[in-house]
Amino acid sequence: MVHPDGERALARACQKSGIPQCVSTSASFRVEAIFASISAPPVLDTPPPVPMTFFFQLYVDKNRAKSEELLRTAERLGAKAVFVTVDGPVQGKREADERVKADRELAPMSGMRARNDEKGSSISRAMGSYIDPTLSWKDVEWLRKSTKLPIILKGIMTAQDAVLAMQHGIDGIVLSNHGGRNLDTSPPPMLVLLEIRKNSPEVFDKVEVFVDGGIKRGTDIFKALCLGAKAVGIGRGFLWALNYGEEGVKKFIDILRDELETTMKLCGITDLSQVTRAW
């Protein structure tokens, strides 16, 4: 609904700009197809590692064998970490999606397909139909057995859960409210970042902390880094830019980079390693 090249155009722009890409289980193409246009031809039956840094965002399937196969594929292609989505056990109330009909496969990796009947239109019903709602802290052991990749929990929204992640030996967390599309009254992730910084600062010593949601300008990136975030994630901005294909995404990245560098200069710093809470 944005651009026919979808995540493939995002991959090309991210590679050229030197930033990572996080590929979702719900992507419009299989992960192999997304990176095919930037990868060298495979040697025999063994695909080469993807020539850029990428992460794989896993929505845990009710059929765990499907998730395990996706994890093996991500490892084989050279993913640097798996981002396990924990903030969407059920689909949120998305009225816009309820009105959108589709007549084709929506996400080949998850197997989601369109459904249009008297119960409603396709996208809002299909998006979360395969997700396992029983996922809990007990499944950390299953994740560790299923992959050698670092495990990042995406969707942490309280300092208490951040501490639990630390206690479970999780490698990283993403403070995310799913773009405000699941629970519309959830707090901004930036406020959760501040809460953790104030009440549980020890988390930053043991766990890499990332933030997504509400990151729209270079100044937002700067604020997150000042509060201790390792990096930020952006969704909507990239989708808006994708309306103009690969070049639109590249331009968006250039704008963010320029805004961040301008903010740094105005604050009197020359390297992001100098960023502290003092700013």
Active-site residues: which are they?
A: 178
Query: Quick check: 130 and 141 in contact, CB under 8 A?
Result: no
What is the DSSP code (8-state) at residue 175? Answer: E
Rounded Cα gap, residues 208 and 61, in angstroms: 25
For 244, the token pair is 């103009």
CA distances from 67 to 45, 195, 261 (A): 22, 33, 39
129 Cβ neighbours under 8 A, 6+ residues apart:
91, 112
Query: Quick check: 130 and 59 in contact, CB under 8 A?
Result: yes
Query: Quick check: 257 and 208 in contact, CB under 8 A?
Result: no
Neighbours of 178 (CB within 10 A): 19
